[in-house]
A and B are shown apart, each in its own frame.
Chain A
Amino acid sequence: MTIRCEIVSQDRTVFAGDVDIVVLPGAGGEMGILPKHAPVLTTLKYGVVKIRKNGKEELFTVAGGVAEVQPDIVTILADAAENVDEIDVARAEAARTRAEEILAKGVPADTDAYLAMEAALRKSNLRLEAVSRYRKGGTRVSTSEH
């Protein structure tokens, strides 16, 4: 018995497939979704979505969004999402430093700019945290790979 899971970010489909369980960071805390779950509509926090299929786990960072649970399908509409294995550590780190530098210089007068910066910082932090916590073998520096 499996449940269909689709993770879609604003610019692409990040994951689509049948899985055994989905654990997602709902507004009221972590939620584990098994097949035949009752319908739920929830907002998502910044966090990690876990998917298990035949004992194999896959992890995705999601930067907020909405999840819709139906008995046979979980649809995750994330503002941004990516597979933890795909995260480019060097880029995320660079983005974090840049955001921190700008925020350290003082709060941008423009509210939109400030919110965008803050969101970028939170996103980079989330990615880096997810990598250091979940990626096998701890933090890898992506530039030394391939």
Chain B
Amino acid sequence: MASAREMKLRIKSVKNIAQVTRALETVSASKVRKAVNAVTATRSYATKAWQVLKHVAEQPGRDSLHPLLVERKKVRNTLVVVITGDRGLAGAYNSNVIRYASQRFDKNTVPVKYVAIGRKGRDLLYRRRKELLGEFSNLPAAPSFFDVSAIGRLVVDAYKNGEVDEVFLVYTNFINMARQTATVKKLLPLELTDENRVQDFEQHHNGPAAAYDYEPDQSIILDEIIPRFTALQVYQAILESQASEHAARMVAMHAATDNAKDLAGAYQLAYNKVRQQGITNDILDIVGGAEALSAK
């Protein structure tokens, strides 16, 4: 068993760690509140925008409507946008996203390029020798749409100029404080569920389909909304991920504080025993010495 002095040092360092993790937990708790407010506020708009995009994609002859709606016959390159945090100490938050991405895309038949949002994801992808097309880190907390619109533009441009033929978004969906799950969303080209496909098929075969009237003009309006609503999905995913990151960090730091307390308690107990043993030994020595003297 270690000496009493060594144990005292260890208790002190464990208590220090507990203090730091508790502080981090408190900070995350206040950040998570803001992030959750931000994500829930924009969620309805983003969901509706996505619905409108899907409706547009359901239109007959979608390929001729807008270049971003064209489903290319042959997919030669895939782009994956991976959203992680800039910092660690958030439990399995960052590694979950990367693990999910590599499970999903490592066996991809065509080359995969990555765009990393967040420093941790960048480092992890880099270490796995993935091809990075772009990297965005140090995003502000609760970013505005304009802070991140460059990311959306990069993605849309890469798709438009044929550099990539499909775009996926891998991010963490914020479900509640205790549950966040890594998810993937196909961003471009817009994908319809099978159910919609059947409808589309029937529309084609049951006379005229209910196509939109466009005002002012089909190309003007689609040019305006498709890139913007696509970028909006990236924005929403970033907000979801940020809320998840703070929640994950809060939970992880809470657990760390609890563990440190348990550990400090266990060490304290061991230290007390060592100290008591030492005193008992000292007394035994003294008594033994005194007896030896009086026996003479």
Tell me the smallest distance from the CB of A135 to a CB of chain B, in Å. Answer: 26
8 Å CB contact of A75 from B52, B210, B212, B214 = B52
Q: A26-B215, A43-B215, A43-B216 are in contact. Are A68 and B52 (CB under 8 A)?
A: yes
B216–A39 contact, CB under 8 A? no
A6 contact set on B, CB distance < 8 A = 48
Tell me the smallest distance from the CB of A145 to a CB of chain B, in Å. Answer: 26
A9–B45 contact, CB under 8 A? yes
Q: Mark A46-62, 1 if CB is under 8 A from B, else 0.
A: 00000000000000000
Tell me the smallest distance from the CB of A113 to a CB of chain B, in Å. Answer: 12
A82 to B110, CA, bound (A): 48
Total A-B pairs, Cβ < 8 A: 64
Q: Mark B252-295, 1 if CB is under 8 A from A, else 0.
A: 00000000000000000000000000000000000000000000
Is A41's CB within 8 Å of the partner chain B?
yes
Chain B 37-86 interface residues, beta-carbon cutoff 8 Å to A: 41-42, 44-45, 48-49, 51-52, 55-56
A10–B48 contact, CB under 8 A? no
Binding site for A on B (CB under 8 A): 41-42, 44-45, 48-49, 51-52, 55-56, 145, 210-216, 220-221, 224-225
A41–B212 contact, CB under 8 A? yes
A40 contact set on B, CB distance < 8 A = 212-215
Can you report 8 residue pairs joining A to B where beta carbons are below 8 Å apart? A6-B48, A13-B44, A28-B215, A39-B55, A39-B211, A41-B225, A77-B48, A77-B49
A84 to B80, CA, bound (A): 43
Q: A39-B210, A41-B56, A42-B221 are in contact. Are A11 and B216 (CB under 8 A)?
A: no
B213–A41 contact, CB under 8 A? yes
A11 contact set on B, CB distance < 8 A = 41-42, 45
Q: A10-B145, A75-B51 are in contact. Are A39 and B213 (CB under 8 A)?
A: yes
8 Å CB contact of B41 from A12, A38, A42, A71 = A12
Binding site for B on A (CB under 8 A): 6, 8-13, 26-28, 31, 38-43, 66, 68, 70-71, 75, 77
| Leading 4 A-B pairs by shortest Cβ distance | A42-B215, A27-B216, A11-B41, A40-B213
A31 contact set on B, CB distance < 8 A = 215
* Closest chain B residue to A44, Cβ basis: B215
* Closest chain A residue to B44, Cβ basis: A13
B44–A8 contact, CB under 8 A? yes
* Closest chain B residue to A37, Cβ basis: B213
B42 contact set on A, CB distance < 8 A = 10-11
B48–A27 contact, CB under 8 A? no
Known: A38-B213, A41-B221. 10 other contacts (CB 8 A): A8-B44, A12-B41, A13-B44, A39-B212, A40-B212, A41-B212, A41-B215, A66-B52, A66-B224, A68-B55
A43 contact set on B, CB distance < 8 A = 215-216, 220-221, 224
A27–B215 contact, CB under 8 A? yes
Tell me the smallest distance from the CB of A34 to a CB of chain B, in Å. Answer: 15
B52 contact set on A, CB distance < 8 A = 41, 66, 68, 75, 77
B214–A41 contact, CB under 8 A? yes
A12–B225 contact, CB under 8 A? no
A66 contact set on B, CB distance < 8 A = 52, 221, 224-225
A68 contact set on B, CB distance < 8 A = 52, 55
